[in-house]
A and B are shown apart, each in its own frame.
Chain A
């Protein structure tokens, strides 16, 4: 099918206008929403990830691919409601309180969605109480915390403490990431893992949830 190559290329190239146009055309022509997602958008973001890993793409290229992926996801996701999508698990993500940066978190969210995780993105500057509330109400398998400044990464520990105090810590895995964060820091604050980049975060999520 022609749209598959075109859509995946548009996503990989970060052309969200063309990606939206091709996704709508494919759906109008009767393509199943899941195929539009998997053979178009997911294939495109996977290609962007591959080019990034090989050093051909830079972060701005991946960001724009992520944005294009999200546009297609926004069109297709409502059409998948109620479908048994064989999701690998539910992940709650957010940048911790005091931190308004979201680039890294957004890439992780897109890569997780592309890998068929259900992602609930709480946004930026998220208080510990909101993570607790999401853990209680959404029962995610994983909570991902992002912090992008040395001054805000301390708040990751506060989220873990809040989850412990709420009696919810044992039911969820916590992964952390962001520019100043390290694996050593993850160990020290009692997180379950650290992802140096989005690809690693997806692998980590798979390992922690026991899915491929």
Chain B
């Protein structure tokens, strides 16, 4: 079935018209628009997949084949509904611009903040925009997306770095704070360059290669307490809107996400309102497009899921929560199940809800991840009820190496 048919089936299911069982992708779409058969589970395999396949960071983050196959294996092994090809998406455009990265053997590369590419204002004049799809590791990303489509039969969610976070990384956090305070004209010039000369052409290239329905700009630095609400409103949101207006279409959502900080402000709605403004400006046909409001565990644990759920319902948007990664690592099984039950009890409501398994720490026992997924599947069925952790049924699963030999895609 083609992706359009899957989108249609998921959307219709969410509205009560059930055309057979849902597959994982259709379940996610149904969860975004309404009530699926159960809460959808999205996995970001990331460095856990890398470690489980014995891949070095250099191979995982530069070779599309091992990256996609290892990520896919992890998602299938754990039985996630959907997975996204998550690479170090904060670095791709920066790498293509020439920003130095720090490479390590067993974790993702990081921007070398000791040597920001734009150390002084005049450096911006010398900076050449990347050639979309050709500079740095952009070919790795494009090829990875193509392989994802070969393996999965659907376009991936595509990722870009937001202009604001890119500005912080390419300039250095303290330098950019000073720019915003003392030299806002330069800060705006930099953001304009990154938006229109870097991010927009890159999104266009990814869309050309994949025809994806959703592009997410990640914006970790647009978060409290590292930035104030006022800074984000003045220096981040206008450029999010610019990029969205330049790249979206009737069939495609471009959105900004990944920020946090609800627990770090007096009124969490200030941050939630910013998140909604990261989704909606320029996305005028929002009823036709997949959106989700993502809130991280550190924040929802402090603020309380019911408060966030009420906000999402008020705004008529799908709420996506992650499952606490360190808890999945540490266990024990009973604690993981209790946590899953709590998140479902308080978050699942009558639909428009999805759960994310992200950043599972390297070294996490596979049993713990299997338990998290099994608990989500057992207790996340709509209508949600009978949430008794003691009723949890332990899943059976094969050891990963054995499964890999029998059913995995090769990474070498």
Contact = CB atoms under 8 A, between A and B. Distances in A.
Given A59-B226, A64-B181, A100-B102, A180 B174 contact: no
Nearest to A154: B361
11 contacts: A58-B228, A59-B226, A60-B177, A64-B174, A100-B112, A103-B226, A150-B326, A150-B359, A151-B362, A154-B363, A180-B298
A112 to B, nearest CB: 19
B228 A98 contact: no
Given A64-B178, A152-B107, 19 more contacts: A14-B181, A58-B225, A59-B226, A60-B177, A60-B226, A60-B227, A63-B174, A64-B174, A98-B107, A100-B110, A100-B111, A100-B113, A103-B226, A150-B325, A150-B361, A151-B47, A151-B361, A153-B326, A154-B361
A60 B361 contact: no
Nearest to B266: A55
A60 B231 contact: yes
B388 to A, nearest CB: 26
A192 interface: no
Interface in B214-238: 224-228, 231
Nearest to B48: A151
Interface string A105-147: 0000000000000000000010000000000000000000000
Interface string A152-174: 11100000000000000000000
A63 B326 contact: no
Nearest to B106: A98
Contacts of B174: 63-64, 67
Interface string A52-95: 00010011100110010000000000000000000000000000
A55 B325 CA distance: 31
Contacts of A67: 174
B104 interface: yes
Most chain B beta-carbon neighbours within 10 Å: one of A59, A103, A125, A150: A150
B231 A151 contact: no
A98 B104 contact: yes
A151 B173 contact: no
A64 to B, nearest CB: 6
Most chain B beta-carbon neighbours within 10 Å: one of A58, A67, A125, A154: A58
A183 interface: no
A125 B111 CA distance: 12
Interface of A: 14, 55, 58-60, 63-64, 67, 98, 100, 102-103, 125, 149-154, 179-180
Nearest to A188: B330
A63 B325 CA distance: 29
Interface in B323-373: 325-326, 329, 359, 361-363
B375 to A, nearest CB: 20
Contacts of A64: 174, 177-178, 181
B228 A60 contact: yes
A125 B266 CA distance: 33
A151 B177 contact: no
A151 B364 CA distance: 11
Interface in B151-182: 173-174, 177-178, 181
Contacts of A102: 113
A149 B47 CA distance: 13
B357 to A, nearest CB: 13
Contacts of A151: 47, 107, 325, 359, 361-362
Most chain B beta-carbon neighbours within 10 Å: one of A14, A100, A180: A100
Contacts of B266: 55
| 7 A-B pairs closest in CB distance | A59-B225, A100-B110, A58-B228, A150-B325, A150-B326, A98-B107, A60-B177
A139 B222 CA distance: 40
Contacts of B226: 59-60, 103
B174 to A, nearest CB: 6
Contacts of A63: 173-174, 177
A152 B110 CA distance: 13
A64 B106 CA distance: 33
Contacts of B225: 58-59
Interface in B74-123: 102, 104, 106-107, 110-113
B279 to A, nearest CB: 24
A180 B181 CA distance: 29
Nearest to A106: B174
B408 to A, nearest CB: 24
A152 B325 CA distance: 12
Most chain A beta-carbon neighbours within 10 Å: one of B102, B107, B231, B298: B107
